């Protein structure tokens, strides 16, 4: 079994700047427990920027804002401290943390995607290694930033073909209204097509995301055939129980169907494409009817925008500029310019590397 676990900033750091090392230690304990039972685990941990604020306040007595430059600096201050805490905890179990910092740029080409996957496959297969991922906030520019670590954890889960994604936060799960309201009720089971209430007032103070982001990620995972749980990081043995049992803890988002690993990854391709193609109405109709084994041929492409290489991610839009999917280019933009609109030319996007969203 493969599991991706995401821990939010507010689950391990209080708004007042107190680090919940006991919570971090318990998370590591549970992960090592299931690793020793043969489960492959990747931990996506937020907290670098929040820790950077603590360090800046305590040592330099300076308070930084929320602009990109300030957050880049705070991340560079906080990330070493975050990993130092994890390393100290791991040492008790004779385990070492393996750190990986990523931006959207790292997922833009098939080559970089493959390199990341190779590293992850190697690291999770090693005994006494805990793989920890975070967004590389210190170098990420705005257009290459993930929405938050919920999105990053979903991309990683799709990439490795995870069986489960656990989104651990500071609240118990998804509620039918603001969880601060007295009459708010926990929604324990969510189907991907369920109409959700307006999820306001549930954003954490330290992180970029909130409950809406988590539900959005969970829905994408459900469409890709992956079970997602949203639960409190402080629930007793929450990781062990969610992985090993069928208990209803927090909110469980039921997957719709199984999908191949590369299709799962493509489902998370929004925002990390390098170019786009516009297809004609006939091809759009064929694609959205849900027919399998349909590739995109140059004859169905009206035009394209942007320069791209073989293996890059390409956004697919209709003649009204509405996005309908994403795919992987089989050849570069120069070659497509030669083939576009012509018959009997090789497929530009093969159906195995095509994800249609509508």
DSSP 263-289: HHHHHT-TT--SEEEEE-HHHHHHHHT
pLDDT number for residue 124: 94
Q: Given pLDDT bands bounded at 50, 70 and 90, which one contains residue 189?
A: confident
Proportion of the chain above pLDDT 70, given as a percent: 87
Is 301's pLDDT higher than 80? yes
Mapping DSSP to helix (H, G, I), strand (E, B) and coil, where does residue 241 land?
helix
pLDDT number for residue 140: 67
pTM for the model? 0.78
- Across 46-53, average pLDDT: 92
Is 263's pLDDT higher than 70? no
Structure tokens that stand for 334 in this block:
């120069």
Q: Are strands 313-317 and 323-328 parallel, antiparallel or unpaired?
A: antiparallel
* Fold of the 273-356 domain: 2.30.130
Is 261's pLDDT higher than 60? no
Q: Given pLDDT bands bounded at 50, 70 and 90, which one contains residue 259?
A: low
pLDDT tens for each residue of 139-172: 766 655 676 788 899 889 988 889 999 999 988 9
Mean pLDDT of the chain, nearest integer: 85
Q: Where are the domains of the chain?
A: 2-265, 273-356
- Across 47-70, average pLDDT: 89
- Across 15-42, average pLDDT: 94
Is 206's pLDDT higher than 60? no
SS (H, E, C) 105-162: HHHCEHHHHHHHHHHHHHHHCCCCEEEEEEECCCCCCHHHCCCCHHHHHHHHHHHHCC
CATH of domain 2-265: 3.40.1160.10
pLDDT tens for each residue of 68-119: 889 899 999 999 999 999 999 999 999 999 999 998 888 877 778 889 999 9
Residues linked to residue 186 through DSSP beta bridges, in sequence order: 175
**Which residue do the tokens 């786009």 mark?**
276
- Across 256-270, average pLDDT: 58
Query: In the Cβ-directed half-sphere of 137, how many Cα atoms lie within 13 Å?
Result: 30
């Amino acid at each position: 079994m493969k599991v991706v676990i995401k821990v939010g900033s507010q689950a391990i750091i209080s708004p007042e700047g107190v680090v919940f090392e006991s919570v971090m230690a318990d998370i590591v304990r549970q992960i090592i427990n299931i690793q020793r039972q043969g489960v492959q685990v990747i931990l996506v941990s937020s907290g670098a920027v929040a820790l950077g604020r603590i360090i800046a306040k305590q040592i330099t007595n300076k308070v930084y804002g929320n602009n990109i430059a300030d957050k880049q600096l705070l991340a560079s201050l906080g990330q070493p401290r975050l990993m130092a805490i994890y390393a100290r905890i791991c040492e008790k179990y004779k385990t070492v943390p393996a750190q990986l910092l990523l931006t959207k740029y790292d997922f833009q080409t098939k080559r970089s995607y493959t390199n990341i996957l190779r590293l992850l496959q190697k690291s999770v297969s090693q005994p006494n290694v805990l793989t920890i991922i975070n967004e590389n906030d210190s170098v990420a520019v705005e257009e290459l930033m993930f929405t938050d670590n919920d999105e990053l954890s979903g991309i990683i889960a799709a990439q490795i073909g995870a069986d489960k994604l656990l989104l651990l936060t500071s609240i118990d799960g998804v509620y039918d209204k603001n969880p601060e309201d007295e009459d708010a009720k926990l929604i324990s089971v969510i189907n991907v097509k369920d109409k959700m209430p307006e999820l306001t007032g549930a954003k954490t103070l330290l992180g970029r995301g909130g409950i809406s982001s988590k539900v959005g990620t969970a829905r994408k995972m459900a469409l890709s055939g992956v079970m997602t749980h949203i639960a409190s990081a402080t629930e007793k043995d929450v990781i062990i129980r969610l992985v090993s049992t069928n208990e209803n803890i927090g909110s469980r988002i039921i997957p719709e169907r199984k999908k191949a690993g590369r299709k799962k990854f493509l489902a998370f391709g929004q925002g990390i494409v390098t170019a786009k193609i516009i297809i004609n109405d006939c091809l759009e109709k064929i694609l959205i009817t849900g027919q399998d084994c349909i590739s995109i041929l140059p004859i169905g492409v009206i035009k394209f925008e942007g320069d791209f290489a073989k293996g890059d991610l390409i956004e697919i839009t209709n003649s009204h500029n509405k996005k309908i999917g994403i795919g992987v280019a089989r050849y570069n933009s120069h070659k497509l310019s030669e083939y576009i609109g012509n018959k009997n030319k090789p497929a530009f996007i093969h159906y195995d590397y095509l994800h249609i969203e509508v």
